[in-house]
Chain A
Amino acid sequence: MTATTTAPAARPRALTFGNMWLSAALIAVIVLYPMFFGKAMNFGVSTLIFAGLAMSWNILGGWAGQTSLGHAALLGIGAYTMTLLAIPERVPAIFGGPVAPWWGALIAMVLAALIAAVWGGLTFRLRGSYFTLSSIAVALVIRLIAINSEWTGGSEGLFMPDLPRFLGLDLFDRKAEYILAAAFVVLTLGITHAIRRSRLGYALQAVREDEDGARALGIDPTRMKVIAFMISAALTALGGALYGIYLQAFEPHTLLELPISVQIALMAIIGGRGTIQGPAIGAILLAVFGEIFRNVFANANLLIYGVLILVVTLFAPNGVMGLFQRGGRKLGTAR
């Protein structure tokens, strides 16, 4: 085995050029999409939601380097919390009546962040694969609770009630959902940009590259990872609330299963974890491939995910963005 003798691998790094421009291009695509593909709004909305989810995952998975395979639980917390608070018969008595979905989403974000604080506080003491394994276990426990509890609608799930208008927008109108999903993507994009140049961002990257080294510099690795997880969880819950509205009715299978967690993580990884726009690019790429192959493989459309992740792992370890970066370096910008 040569593993022990060679130098440590180059880790994914943020692009050294064109970051802002790539974000601007991404936003331009989002703005132009409805003009050209107005008929395919379903595809647009779900792709944008997953792009935002992948970028939210990336704050923990990319910047802090903690591979979570339990993000479906946070997605579910967002959708379930928002919906349960909006259904008159199910909303807990202390709220004294149904809660508007935007307040519901906000409560879901706070709840998800608190859960992430406890979850991360306990499991980030473990390193490497242990966190990944524990994230699967936590998510599966949350899934079992949702399936077996009466108040979550059990395995039959929940139907969305009539929702009040949001800033004059009908929330069940695909155009309105598109605008909200786009806002979600822009928000996560903005937060990722902000993190990159912040103390937190540098600390996270230091922890990712060398935990002991970071500790020696006075950074508390567990605390940094927990903060990243809380931000990631809150944004994922927001995406979950949006996804719930998009679906109008959902059950544990559509929101809480392991493949959903895997899908979110793979989008970010295929696009390029630890980069700013990579996860969104990965999400768009996989959504397009998924759509193309849905007709060929029917419900076996995750096959293409499997093939892509294998190809990326073997030949483009830093994802699509890594390929761009390598292309950039070949033009003469040495590392």
Chain B
Amino acid sequence: MDPAAATALIQTIAQGLLTGGLYALIGTGLSLIFGVMRVINFAHGDFLAIGMFITLALFRAFNLDPYFSVLVAAPVGFALGYVIQRVILARLGDRLAEGSMLATLGLGLIISNTLLLTFGAQPQNINVAYATKTVQLGGVQLSIPLIVAGIGTLAAIGGLNFLLYRTELGRAIRATAQNPLGAELQGVKTATIQAIVFGLGVAFAAIAGVLLMPLLYAFPTVGENYTTKAFIVTVLGGLGNLPGAVVGGLVLGTIESLGAFYISNNYRDAYGLVAFLLVLLLRPEGLFGRTVKRV
């Protein structure tokens, strides 16, 4: 392989890994929700869209640097998720499995159409000086917003791990995921825990939206694509498997990047989908999951 081709390969992989980090962040939120509640959140990408539009609105109103919006978007996302779990999903009771799918589908439609009414259908972006800047690392060019997104993802996932494995709340969350009834009997307020978990998942999606805003155009249905990405990531990693979601995200980013560069950019979204279908068919427990009972 001549040096130019080698550099191109490294460049492609590096870009894929950074994009994959963002996918990992989105997928982690979805996987966390599924892991604790067995709920597949069909509105996940729409929560990401909310994060994007909060960033856009704050920038328009106060000229706030997009990354500072995370201080607003994350709490708003958390509160939104908390309330949705409490007011809607908790009421489904024993119809949760089927009902949550429909309820989150409905929520997604409500969110995307409300955004459409508020902000219009026109794709909008933020003009900040660093949006198009790149850094040179040994012949490989990397965009600054992608690097910031990568760091943000690491921080968010690191924070989640600390929360889950080093705090009392984390113990309660893990207990609820493993055995809700048992946890309840040990004095864990599982209803509150589930609301917190849904809030966290939505906050993760919103944070991802903030990190994406300097890179992308925001439009009301932007979330649809990311809901699919989140599904792909979680299935690749194994539904409800958090480290799996991180690896799944990186794998998806790399597959897309390599496919787009070496095969055809038109089918960028298809490579992940095909990988998703293959994993779904051959290893429903995910690439890295323990073997679950096969049907």
Whether, in the assembled complex, B95 has its beta carbon less than 8 Å from a beta carbon of chain A, the answer is yes
Interface 9-mer from A133-141, A165-173, A186-194: A133-141
Whether, in the assembled complex, B267 has its beta carbon less than 8 Å from a beta carbon of chain A, the answer is yes
Whether, in the assembled complex, A148 has its beta carbon less than 8 Å from a beta carbon of chain B, the answer is yes
Residues 118-159 of chain A, each 1 if its beta carbon lies under 8 Å from chain B, else 0: 000011011111101110111011001001100000000000
Q: Is the CB of A309 within 8 A of B106?
A: yes
Contact partners of B163 in chain A: CB under 8 A: none
Q: Is the CB of A1 within 8 A of B181?
A: yes
Whether, in the assembled complex, B289 has its beta carbon less than 8 Å from a beta carbon of chain A, the answer is no
Q: Is the CB of B280 within 8 A of A141?
A: no
Name the one of B95, B190, B267 contacting A148, with C-beta atoms under 8 angstroms: B267
Name the one of A8, A301, A307, A313 contacting B94, with C-beta atoms under 8 angstroms: A8
Residues 255-282 of chain A, each 1 if its beta carbon lies under 8 Å from chain B, else 0: 0001100100010010000000000000
Q: Is the CB of A306 within 8 A of B113?
A: yes
User: Once bound together, how far apart are the Cα atoms of A3 and B94, in whole Å?
Assistant: 5
Q: Is the CB of B106 within 8 A of A313?
A: yes
Q: Is the CB of B116 within 8 A of A137?
A: no
Contact partners of A137 in chain B: CB under 8 A: 228, 231-232, 273, 276-277, 280
With A123-B281, A266-B105 already in contact, the answer to whether A300 and B91 are too (CB < 8 A) is no
Q: Is the CB of B109 within 8 A of A1?
A: no
With A1-B191, A136-B231, A306-B107 already in contact, the answer to whether A313 and B277 are too (CB < 8 A) is no
Q: Is the CB of A309 within 8 A of B99?
A: no
Contact partners of A295 in chain B: CB under 8 A: none
User: Once bound together, how far apart are the Cα atoms of A314 and B224, in whole Å?
Assistant: 24
Whether, in the assembled complex, A16 has its beta carbon less than 8 Å from a beta carbon of chain B, the answer is no
Whether, in the assembled complex, B66 has its beta carbon less than 8 Å from a beta carbon of chain A, the answer is no
Q: Is the CB of A129 within 8 A of B101?
A: yes
User: How far in angstroms is the closest Cβ of chain A from B44?
Assistant: 12
Q: Is the CB of A300 within 8 A of B180?
A: no
Residues 288-303 of chain A, each 1 if its beta carbon lies under 8 Å from chain B, else 0: 0000000001011111
User: Once bound together, how far apart are the Cα atoms of A134 and B275, in whole Å?
Assistant: 11
Name the one of A129, A262, A303 contacting B117, with C-beta atoms under 8 angstroms: A303
User: Once bound together, how far apart are the Cα atoms of A141 and B116, in whole Å?
Assistant: 26
Name the one of A125, A299, A313 contacting B99, with C-beta atoms under 8 angstroms: A313
- Give the total of A residues in contact with B, Cβ under 8 Å: 50
Say which size band chain B's interface belongs to: 35 or more
Residue of A nearest to B37 (CB): A1
Residue of A nearest to B294 (CB): A125
Contact partners of B40 in chain A: CB under 8 A: 129, 132-133
Residue of B nearest to A67 (CB): B101
Residue of A nearest to B103 (CB): A313
Q: Is the CB of B94 within 8 A of A2?
A: yes
Q: Is the CB of B295 within 8 A of A127?
A: yes
User: How far in angstroms is the closest Cβ of chain B from A3?
Assistant: 5
Q: Is the CB of B96 within 8 A of A3?
A: yes
User: Once bound together, how far apart are the Cα atoms of A4 and B214, in whole Å?
Assistant: 45
Whether, in the assembled complex, B92 has its beta carbon less than 8 Å from a beta carbon of chain A, the answer is yes
Whether, in the assembled complex, B97 has its beta carbon less than 8 Å from a beta carbon of chain A, the answer is yes
Name the one of A7, A9, A300, A312 contacting B113, with C-beta atoms under 8 angstroms: A300
User: How far in angstroms is the closest Cβ of chain A from B177?
Assistant: 11
11 contacts across the A-B interface (CB closer than 8 A):
A1-B190, A2-B94, A3-B93, A126-B295, A136-B231, A301-B113, A302-B112, A303-B117, A306-B106, A306-B111, A314-B103
Name the 9 nearest CB pairs between A and B, nearest first. Answer: A306-B109, A309-B106, A303-B113, A306-B110, A1-B180, A310-B106, A300-B113, A148-B266, A300-B116
Given contacts A125-B281, A306-B107, 9 further A-B pairs with CB under 8 A are: A67-B98, A133-B235, A140-B270, A258-B224, A259-B109, A303-B110, A309-B105, A310-B88, A314-B92
